[in-house]
């Protein structure tokens, strides 16, 4: 018999005893429609650029196109195209063949995007996710809303503030947790 992941998580009895309250009075949409409805001013790709520009320019106050291309594993012409868009949005300053410097608004955005990334990564680590940690973090960070992010933040802080609860959680999951 071919078992799915869901079958391995729940036994047959557990599955058959689940009350199906899945239909509510709310309207349902496809995933892409939800994403279209919540479309922000920046695409996920632009968010990745802003986050990486922030990371790379944190120490020196600037970065360069080739450094950004290398960090994001893209070609320099792709970087130039995105940098021009971000510059038009007044998030960065960019001169052809020059350096990339974040504007104040861009710096604040980059910092917030990096914080979101690190928070989601920390949350996944609490769940003992190891395989594909970066990939899963990247997928989640571009689809999560502020309310959910605040809930994750509260949960991560709760576990950090209550190491005994963290140890109980780890034991429950069969994880050897070492701080």
What pLDDT, on a 0 to 100 scale, did the predictor assign at position 71? 95
How far is residue 97's CA from residue 85's CA, in Å, rounded to a whole number?
Answer: 16
Q: Can you list the domains of the chain with their CATH numbers?
A: 44-109 (1.10.10.10), 114-173 (1.10.60.10)
What pLDDT, on a 0 to 100 scale, did the predictor assign at position 63? 94
Helix boundaries (H) for 41-103:
44-57, 65-72, 76-88
What end-to-end distance do the CA atoms of the chain give, in Å?
A: 41
> Using one digit for the tens of pLDDT, what is the confidence trace for 12-45?
555 555 555 555 556 665 555 544 444 457 899 9
What pLDDT, on a 0 to 100 scale, did the predictor assign at position 3? 45
Q: Is the pLDDT of residue 46 over 80?
A: yes
What pLDDT, on a 0 to 100 scale, did the predictor assign at position 22? 53
Torsion of CA 39, 145, 111, 137, to 10 degrees: -100
What pLDDT, on a 0 to 100 scale, did the predictor assign at position 9? 47
């Amino acid at each position: 018999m071919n078992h799915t992941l869901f079958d391995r998580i729940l036994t047959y009895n557990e599955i058959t005893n689940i009350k199906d309250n899945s239909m509510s009075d709310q309207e349902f949409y496809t995933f892409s429609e939800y994403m279209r409805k919540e479309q922000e001013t920046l695409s996920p790709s632009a968010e990745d650029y802003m986050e990486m520009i922030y990371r790379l320019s944190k120490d020196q106050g600037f970065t360069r196109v080739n450094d950004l291309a290398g960090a994001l594993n893209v070609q320099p012409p792709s970087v130039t195209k995105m940098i021009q868009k971000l510059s038009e949005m007044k998030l960065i300053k960019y001169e052809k063949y020059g350096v990339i410097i974040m504007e104040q608004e861009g710096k604040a955005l980059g910092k917030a995007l990096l914080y979101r990334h690190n928070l989601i990564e920390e949350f996944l680590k609490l769940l003992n996710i190891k395989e594909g940690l970066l990939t899963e973090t990247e997928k989640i960070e571009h689809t999560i809303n502020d309310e959910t992010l605040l809930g994750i933040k509260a949960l991560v802080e709760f576990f950090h503030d209550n190491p005994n609860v963290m140890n109980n959680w780890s034991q429950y999951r069969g994880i050897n947790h070492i701080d």
